[in-house]
């Protein structure tokens, strides 16, 4: 089963971290990626650039309208994600709990199953 | 490109060649890699040079060379010389079929189901890592890592290349059958773009089940599983529209059912039901055979279907079985009886969030004439499913009630 584990980041929370704490997060992700690769559960992971660089695109009257992002006016934004293929939702949650962000107040980790045309749940 | 005939031959020979190597050299992990390389070499060379006179011997020789090369480089790395590693491989190949032994190894209980299926498809099914990765819609590197981790686990578990005895054998065989069932389901539930490859998985599962059946013709559950697969696969062409939309059993064009598969499956299940043992696969096959026996949906012997589900519920209690029994009960005693049975599942944690509970409830509510209730539950079910084809089907049922 495939799951998207998305990381919701709050810049204010990140700014308040010490250098050591930030380094520990980086190492934690590095370790997590290596373990996921070795177990054959990682499909891909990506980290996104700062939301101040985002563009919101809409089409009005057939013409594209581009405004500076982000789309959602929120304290948290999508910082990146892991796309994994694992045994079941329980395992996906277990994996999500290993992401260092999960241990930090104000940072969010969300687990959602990927919908496939053939991803029927096992009875 | 290898011709379909060559490919079938390669797939058939893969477990035989692997069994021979493991008997000769031990070390399943290394042998498995070597056989995979030999199979890849064959798929490149045979189309150009023709299939060798003794294809099995060819594969054993090539795989052995790869393995010896590997062993040699391992030795070199450790700066040690080994006389055995340079021995010339004998050409004689013992004529034993180790398919079952390999299946027991690949479906080792310490592995996750995802690893068991992947390793089984490669080591016994003779599929390449790339093919398996495509079938499960993951990158090849992900699948390669999964297979390699699975082999490390088997090695760490210290598994011997011998058939387990007595109760353990029974238990391990159940795991093997479950893995084959999962492979089949993976292929059967396919739809849309990836359909082609995933339908191959269903065929592959049937081929593997036939191999196990050939080895254990007396085992009732092996026979039951093969029959279940054949009877289910027989409906393949009738269960989706040209655009990939699902067609429920009662609306399928039964002329499109494969009579050959149905006859074979029905014959198998009849034989196995005559024996003393009775297991879940046999019962599910018997249910599928009952459906196959009805010329039209209206002629279905629902009383028999219900009775079979009742026995299945008793020997293998599972909320999905109860759910299916509710459908049969609704046919024999009316939708309200079905709904009453369904309500016993509301507090079952195993059904929480599963789309089939609201889907069946919607279906039964629709039959009672509760259009609003049916609409609501079709919508709930559509949100809960992770399958696009299912969602489209459930949404269309809901939309029909809106009109």
- CB of B311 closer than 8 Å to CB of B279: no
- CB of B115 closer than 8 Å to CB of B175: no
Average pLDDT over residues B243-256: 90
Which two structure tokens, joined as six digits, stand for B295? 């010329």
A67 pLDDT band (50/70/90 cuts)?
Answer: very high
| Residue B364 pLDDT greater than 80, yes or no | yes
| Residue B196 pLDDT greater than 70, yes or no | no
| Residue A102 pLDDT greater than 90, yes or no | yes
Pairwise CB contact (< 8 Å): B142 & A121:
no
- CB of B364 closer than 8 Å to CB of B326: yes
Pairwise CB contact (< 8 Å): B387 & A40:
no
Looking at residue B352, what is its pLDDT?
86
B374 pLDDT band (50/70/90 cuts)?
Answer: very high
**B90: helix, coil or strand?**
coil
A118 pLDDT band (50/70/90 cuts)?
Answer: very low
B42 pLDDT band (50/70/90 cuts)?
Answer: very high
| Residue B1 pLDDT greater than 90, yes or no | no
Chain B residues with CB under 8 Å of a chain A CB are 112-115, 118, 136-139, 141-150, 182, 185-186, 189-194, 198, 244, 318, 320, 354-356, 385-391
CATH T-level assignment (fold) for domain A2-113: Alpha-Beta Plaits (3.30.70)
Of the residues A117, A119, A122, A123, the best mutation for testing chain B's interface (the one with the most B CB atoms within 10 Å of its CB) is: A117
| Residue B304 pLDDT greater than 60, yes or no | yes
Cα(B143)–Cα(A115) distance, integer angstroms: 20
For chain A, what are the domain ranges?
2-113
Contacts of B189 in chain A (CB under 8 A): 118, 120
| Residue A27 pLDDT greater than 90, yes or no | yes
Average pLDDT over residues B82-100: 58
Q: Of residues B260 and B84, which shows the higher confidence score?
A: B260
Model pLDDT for residues B312-338, shown as the tens digit of each residue: 999 999 999 999 999 999 999 999 999
Mean pLDDT of chain B: 89
B228 pLDDT band (50/70/90 cuts)?
Answer: very high
**A87: number of Cβ within 10 Å:** 14
Residue B264's Cβ-count burial label (10 Å; 0-12, 13-18, 19+) is middle
Which two structure tokens, joined as six digits, stand for B361? 């409830």
B32 pLDDT band (50/70/90 cuts)?
Answer: very high
Contacts of B287 in chain A (CB under 8 A): none
- CB of B98 closer than 8 Å to CB of B163: no
Which element (helix H / strand E) includes A85? Answer: strand A77-85
């Amino acid at each position: 089963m495939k799951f998207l584990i998305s990381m919701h980041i709050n810049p204010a929370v990140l700014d308040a971290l010490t250098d050591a704490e930030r380094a520990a997060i980086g190492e934690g992700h590095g370790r997590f990626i290596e373990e996921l690769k070795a177990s054959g559960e990682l499909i891909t992971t990506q980290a996104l650039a700062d939301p101040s660089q985002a563009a919101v695109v809409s089409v009005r009257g057939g013409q594209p309208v581009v405004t500076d992002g982000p789309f959602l006016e929120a304290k948290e934004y999508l910082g990146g994600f892991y796309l994994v293929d694992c045994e079941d939702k329980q395992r996906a949650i277990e994996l999500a709990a290993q992401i260092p962000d999960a241990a930090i107040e104000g940072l969010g980790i969300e687990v959602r199953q990927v919908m496939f045309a053939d991803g029927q749940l096992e009875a | 490109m290898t011709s379909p005939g060559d490919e079938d031959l390669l797939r058939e020979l893969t477990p035989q060649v692997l069994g021979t190597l493991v008997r000769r050299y031990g070390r399943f992990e290394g042998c498995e890699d070597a056989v995979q390389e030999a199979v890849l070499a064959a798929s490149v060379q045979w189309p150009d040079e023709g299939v060798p006179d003794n294809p099995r011997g060819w594969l054993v020789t090539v795989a052995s060379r790869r393995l010896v090369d590997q062993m040699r480089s391992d030795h070199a790395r450790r700066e040690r010389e080994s006389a055995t590693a340079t021995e010339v491989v004998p050409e004689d190949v013992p004529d034993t079929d180790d398919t079952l032994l390999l299946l027991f190894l690949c479906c080792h209980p310490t592995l996750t189901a995802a690893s068991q299926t992947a390793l089984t498809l490669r080591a016994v099914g003779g599929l390449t890592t790339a093919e398996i990765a495509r079938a499960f819609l993951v990158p090849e590197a992900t699948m390669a890592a999964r297979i390699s981790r699975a082999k490390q686990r088997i090695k760490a578990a210290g598994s011997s290349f011998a058939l387990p005895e007595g109760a353990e054998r029974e238990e391990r065989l159940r795991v093997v059958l479950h893995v084959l069932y999962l492979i089949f389901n993976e292929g059967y539930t396919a739809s849309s773009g990836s359909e082609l490859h995933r339908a191959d998985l269903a065929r592959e599962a049937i081929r593997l089940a036939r191999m196990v059946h050939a080895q254990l013709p007396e085992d009732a559950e092996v026979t039951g599983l093969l029959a279940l697969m054949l009877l289910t696969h027989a409906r393949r062409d009738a269960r989706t529209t040209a655009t990939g939309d699902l067609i429920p059993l009662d609306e399928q064009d039964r002329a499109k059912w494969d009579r050959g598969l149905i006859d074979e499956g029905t014959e198998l299940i009849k034989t196995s039901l005559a024996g003393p043992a009775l297991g879940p696969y046999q019962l599910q096959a018997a249910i599928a055979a009952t459906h196959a026996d009805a010329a039209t949906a209206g002629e279905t012997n629902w009383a028999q279907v219900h009775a079979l589900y009742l026995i299945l519920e008793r020997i293998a209690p599972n909320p999905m079985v109860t759910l299916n029994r509710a459908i049969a009960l609704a046919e024999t005693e009316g939708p309200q009886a079905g709904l009453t049975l369904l309500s016993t599942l509301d507090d079952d944690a195993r059904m929480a969030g599963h789309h089939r509970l609201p889907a069946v409830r919607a279906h039964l509510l629709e039959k009672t004439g509760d259009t609003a209730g049916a609409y609501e539950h079709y919508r709930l079910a559509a949100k809960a499913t992770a399958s696009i084809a299912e969602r489209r089907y459930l949404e269309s049922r809901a939309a029909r009630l809106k009109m």
